[in-house]
Structure 1
Amino acid sequence: MPAIDNPPSSHLSRRTFVTAALAGAASLSGCVSVPRPVPMLVSTATPVDIMYGPLIDEGYEVPLVPINKIDPRFLRQEVPDPTGEAPGTIVIDTSQHFLYLVGGGGRALRYGVGLGRAGFEWSGRAVVARKAKWPKWFPPEEMIERQPELEKYRPEYDKVSGEWRGGMEPGIMNPLGARALYLYENGKDTLYRIHGSPEWWTIGRSVSSGCVRMINQDVIDLYDRVPIDTPVLVTSGLRVV
């Protein structure tokens, strides 16, 4: 879900980002740096129950994921690349609830994701400008207005220290989960994130306030594979055979 960690005046609204991203897709694709091809997992190399088993990460306990309750399509796996994008690109197919990390040789690593519910969908091109492990979560003002129970997490800017205070502390129940990739467009924070989530049952569904949510084990894996400046394409136009 959207979050803030800089003064609100520096952000684009959701509507502004959708419009700007669609209008500037062609120019943006030519100015971002493209990472080198990344190695792909061989789908049979690591048993699925181990990939989604419990782990200790940065001192936090990440519980196992009951994979028998998840459609196998949404589990991490190597597949033929349907995107046509350059190696190292993240492509999110909103029509299928898949996130692809494009590799070399016509292959891609595919993850299942949860997406924004009706009224919060977005599409276009962006870039991963920041990465964070176990981030704090700062709900934006418009979300607090919709959900008054989030008032206790309202951020406050400390002019003396130059830091934001408040928010929800990192932890397994934090909506941003174990990792967050912050999406920027033309140097400005879009307020959208690719992030972890403890709610594994939402993968493959449209339930969030616009962000791309992943199983915590998957977002940890993705985080380690993508550098800053990774290009991101969000589209509903992929044809998956």
Structure 2
Amino acid sequence: MAEQDVHTNKTDQLKFQDPTTRYPSISPPKQDQPEPGLDADMVPKADIGEFSYRGTGRLEGRKALITGGDSGIGAATAIAFSREGADVAISYLPDEEPDAKNVARIINESGRKAVTLPGDLTDASFCSDVVNQAVEQLGGLDILVNNAGKQIAVEGLDDLPDDQLEQTFQVNILAMFRTTRAALKHLQPGSTIINTTSIVAYQPSPALIDYSSTKAAINNFTKNMATQLAEKGIRVNGDCLNNG
């Protein structure tokens, strides 16, 4: 059986299946990659919906920007949006180009436009530039997904270096302020902002003190923006991860 058929039969969300046997029992080999890491080098490959997600046209004609859209949740979101009918721009670190090209390929094969925007969100100017580039190349913007994040575990606070602390806050929360501020110039009533948060905002992990702190800040930011923008007809939501 072809690889695509195997993936489809195991993970097609519209196919009636026995949940106790839907996924294989696997023990991934121990593996480690230097930052930022690539999905392309993971064993086994992540399921980002290429063979499983079938849309129903719920985002037909929409234009979305997803930060950190080259891998993981960002990639899965980009593919799902394209299958729902949206054109999608993804931002990512230049070192993640192989993953970004793969996601762009899937978006294009889904019949939608893909825009790839490499850059570093710790650079304040890029946070504005990436929004402007997305608007220019997509012809507008209806959806902003603030998904990019940095997470590195440490034993304790004494082991947390200043450069990691600053970069985690720059990527996870400061960039969110900046991209949202830039996007507000373009978002019309009916538009949506989605911020990726985590269960560690409520149940902090001792090994993720900086990451957990940013996720708590994201929750507060999301609630504030939802209140501010409701009267403008712009929805703001947080998407909470359960695995930190």
TM-score, scaled to structure 2: 0.24
Q: Which is higher, the Rg of structure 1 or of structure 2?
A: 2
Structure with the bigger percentage of helix: 2
**Larger relative contact order (CA 8 Å, sep ≥ 6):** 1
TM-score, scaled to structure 1: 0.24
Structure with the bigger percentage of strand: 1
